[in-house]
Amino acid sequence: MNEKKGLVPRLRFPEFREAGEWPLASLKQLATRRTERNRDGEVVRVLTNSAEHGVVDQRDYFEKDIATQGNLENYFIVDEGDFVYNPRISTFAPVGPISQNTVAKGVMSPLYTVFRFNNPDNLFYKHYFKSSGWHLYMRQVGSTGARHDRMAIGNEDFMAMPLPKPPPEEQKKIADCISSLDALITAQADKLDALKTLKKGLMQQLFPREGETVPRLRFPEFREAGEWENITLGKIAKFISGGTPSKDVADYWKGSIPWISASSMHDIKIEKSDFSITDSAVKAGARIAEKGTLLLLVRGSMLHKRIPMGISAIDVAFNQDVKALELKGNITAEYLIYFLSARESELLGQVTSTGIGAGKLDTLNLKEFPVAIPVAKEQQKIANCFSSLDALIAAQADKLDTLKTHKRGLMQQLFPNPEAVAA
């Protein structure tokens, strides 16, 4: 390696702008590969390196034990502070993730590469490995080999990885900056989780529990309004099936009317889709759900985990996996969607398998699903409450996304260009 060749990041703190280039050093010059095996089986805590979450307990990540206690003797011992490379490729880690173990002492599969920096003050490199600065080198010396989802790279090549080596003071400045931003992101993520928890709790309180006729919590003006009416979904809603215009008629698919399928049902407000149809497709038999219609997914793989539903913000078309609920009487779509969301676990209990991996909600069963209905004004009060809370949640999610975007941009500036690293 040419140690004289240096790097300069695009963004630098003022006090380091005249400090010169960053030299390069190989990973083996800065760290030692760890190969201690769990021969006596003394360590039983099994860890894994997740691309999205870093080093975590295997059981927490997979929700079960993948490795059994009888085959841990060949696993590598990983101390807290060690770094781990997982060669598995994913969207989050296109050449595999490198993460620091901040959990506890444990063992990891011998498929992983474990190393320890000679200098314990290595927070700079913890952040550096979350950048893309080292990816190009990995692509140049490694390959996907026989398994397309896994990098194949020898230990010598891996430990020869060139790393920037700025002065310790500059390393600390960069690490502190990114760590502060991480702390802010964590705080904002916690706030988002708190809002979601609040919503979940309110749903348990503002709607009657199964078999009850009044909620545990009620707005003051409705405390003397009496019991809620219990009725089945089929009595208050007409279920309308959607359809798919012929794919053979190109003109059907060049319009401006969103065509809603499972992939479009992520938010409570539905108005966008990857596909749009024309008026001629509607005339040929496609169904239209008018603005303000409640749409419910009744078939799809998502149903095994959640019940996608939303209200159309504009007139939309929808496919055969979606049902439009045309409501009768004084019940509103805004109230009903929050009621059904509060009863999601019960709806999930009605999901059956289609035999091809997808879930299915039977319309006849849905029509018998019990719904508790208060007076119209109380419906609106509840809907407004949750709508306001949803707006807060959306705003908080946007704030969190903005911070994450800012961090990605900052890291691109604070760490050298990956092409320069590999040059």
Q: Are residues 413 and 353 in the same domain?
A: no
- Give 3's pLDDT tier (boundaries 50, 70, 90): very low
Q: Is residue 13 assigned to a domain? A: no
- pLDDT at residue 196, as a whole number: 97
- Is residue 241 within 8 Å of residue 230, measured between CB atoms? no
- pLDDT at residue 145, as a whole number: 57
Q: Are residues 369 and 259 in the same domain?
A: yes
- Is residue 86 within 8 Å of residue 53, measured between CB atoms? no
Q: Are residues 24 and 151 in the same domain?
A: yes
Q: Whole domain around residue 396: which residue ranges?
A: 169-215+378-423
- pLDDT at residue 422, as a whole number: 46
Question: Would the pLDDT of 418 be above 80?
Answer: no
Q: Helices marked H in 91-212 — which ranges? A: 123-128, 135-141, 155-159, 168-206
Q: Is residue 5 assigned to a domain? A: no
pLDDT, tens only, 12-23: 999 999 989 999
Q: Are residues 148 and 176 in the same domain?
A: no
CA angle centred on 364, ends 362 and 370, rounded to 5°: 100
Q: Are residues 162 and 176 in the same domain?
A: no
pLDDT, average across residues 150-162: 93
Q: Is residue 417 assigned to a domain? A: yes
Q: Is residue 11 assigned to a domain? A: no
Helix (H, G, I), strand (E, B) or coil at 94: coil
Q: Are residues 161 and 173 in the same domain?
A: no
Looking up tokens 């219990």, which residue turns up?
Answer: 230
Q: Whole-number mean pLDDT of the chain?
A: 91
Q: Are residues 131 and 33 in the same domain?
A: yes
Percentage of the chain modeled with pLDDT above 90:
81
Q: Are residues 307 and 204 in the same domain?
A: no
Q: What are phi and psi of 163, to 5 degrees?
A: -125, 145
Q: Are residues 195 and 233 in the same domain?
A: no
pLDDT, average across residues 371-381: 96
The enclosing domain of 118 has a CATH number of 3.90.220.20
Q: Is residue 6 assigned to a domain? A: no
- Give 60's pLDDT tier (boundaries 50, 70, 90): confident
Closest CA to 117 of 82, 85, 157: 82
- Give 210's pLDDT tier (boundaries 50, 70, 90): confident
pLDDT, tens only, 67-115: 555 578 899 999 999 999 999 999 889 999 999 999 999 999 999 999 9
Non-local CB neighbours of 409 within 8 Å, separated by 6+ positions = none
Question: Would the pLDDT of 61 be above 90?
Answer: no
pLDDT, tens only, 392-413: 999 999 999 999 999 999 999 9
pLDDT, average across residues 279-289: 91
Sequence-separated contacts (24+) of 309-312 with Cβ below 8 Å: 309/265, 309/268, 309/337, 309/340, 309/341, 310/265, 310/267, 310/268, 310/269, 310/270, 310/337, 311/268, 311/269, 311/270, 311/337, 312/260, 312/270, 312/271
CA distance 134 to 117: 16
Q: Are residues 237 and 365 in the same domain?
A: yes
Q: What is the count of structural domains for the chain?
A: 3
Closest CA to 95 of 52, 48, 142: 142
- pLDDT at residue 4, as a whole number: 46
Q: Could you give the C-alpha distances from 298 to 1, 277, 356, 366, in angstroms and in order?
A: 60, 22, 15, 10
- Is residue 257 within 8 Å of residue 263, measured between CB atoms? no
CA distance 401 to 409: 12
Burial class (CB in 10 A: 0-12, 13-18, 19+), 388: exposed
CA 385 to chain centre: 26
Question: Looking at 9-13, 60-64, 146-150, 293-297, which range is the least confident one?
Answer: 60-64
Q: Is residue 2 assigned to a domain? A: no
- pLDDT at residue 318, as a whole number: 95
pLDDT, average across residues 280-303: 93
Q: Are residues 162 and 175 in the same domain?
A: no
Q: Are residues 310 and 368 in the same domain?
A: yes
Question: Would the pLDDT of 1 be above 50?
Answer: no
pLDDT, average across residues 203-217: 93
Beta-sheet pairing, 309-312 with 269-270: parallel
- Give 5's pLDDT tier (boundaries 50, 70, 90): low
